[in-house]
Structure 1
């Protein structure tokens, strides 16, 4: 049970209704974590703006793989399940790939480098080594991509913190991932 009361859509502040309805239209329901953030309309607006913009920086498979790895390390079951759901639904990642992502790995060498780098950013609070920068660059990521990976990692930690603080109940479905 959540440690902070999660409002229903009707109970959420009026200024968040359009945002929450947009999320429901896209996913088919309004996840509890969005309704939790709606308790602070500016926090929800900031998250939606950040995540919407960052979703266009890298391919969805890389984004969801990094999100799963960072969320596993943060001990955020809610966010990990959300990345399993989105990774299987949007990126068509299979169970084997998702299992590797949980461990900070990937079958795809370029994606594996991004996942390792995102984990390093989260684990080291951004104080990555020259070797870690060289590794992600050697995989083909530009400096702009490195900035995007850092931004996405901050986004993942943002939701990890929100979920871990509230202990919101898991409402992302268990999805049978697409087979590769």
Structure 2
């Protein structure tokens, strides 16, 4: 599994090395990532959500990784990534998804019907709403595992401004 990560990313980031202590956990993480990559949300929106959630959870490892991926893979600019870290987006459509994701993360899933209605009114489908929540959950898991293990950051370091 780590060889497949290396083929895809060009290296094996420390997060993957850490998670590989449990082959079952690595298989689950890679499987969920792969499934969500085929989902209804574009890569840029997925990176935006990852940045928002990492900031909320105070995970510098994930902020560093997703800032790098946001810039080099999703082609997000610095102003956009700053907005994402603040739970928003400069893109009006993406803004609804990022705001909803931030609300889900901040409230640990206990959002109101008005929150769901707002993201759907912006044009997100039921499938996309489910995927937004799944991205929050998956990113929260990586945030937690990195904070528990104090994973050494192997990307240009970006520090979290806050912790949950």
The TM-score, its normalising length taken from structure 1, stands at 0.84
- Identify which of 137, 140, 165 aligns with 2:123: 140
Cα distance per residue 1:49-93 (max 9 Å; x no partner)? 011111222101100001000000100000111111111111100
Match of 1:40 in 2: 22
Show structure 2 runs of 5+ residues with no match: 158-164
Cα distance per residue 1:86-118 (max 9 Å; x no partner)? 111111001111111111111111111111111
Q: Distance in 2 between matches of 1:56 and 1:136?
A: 21
- Identify which of 7, 20, 37 aligns with 2:2: 20
Report deviation, 1:144.
1.0
Q: Distance in 2 between matches of 1:56 and 1:65?
A: 17
Show structure 1 runs of 5+ residues with no match: 1-18, 175-180
Q: How many positions carry a matched residue from both structures?
A: 157
| CA RMSD in angstroms, aligned pairs only | 1.3
**3-state secondary structure, aligned to 1:105:** coil
Match of 1:115 in 2: 98
Report deviation, 1:173.
3.6
- Identify which of 37, 52, 71 aligns with 2:34: 52
- Identify which of 96, 104, 112 aligns with 2:79: 96
Moved segments of 4+, more than 4 Å: none
Q: Larger C-alpha radius of gyration, 1 or 2? A: 1
Report deviation, 1:142.
0.7
Q: Distance in 1 between matches of 2:33 and 2:129?
A: 16
State yes or no: 1:83 paired with 2:66. yes
The TM-score, its normalising length taken from structure 2, stands at 0.92
Q: What are the within-5 Å matches in structure 2 for residues 150-169 of structure 1?
A: 150-169=133-152
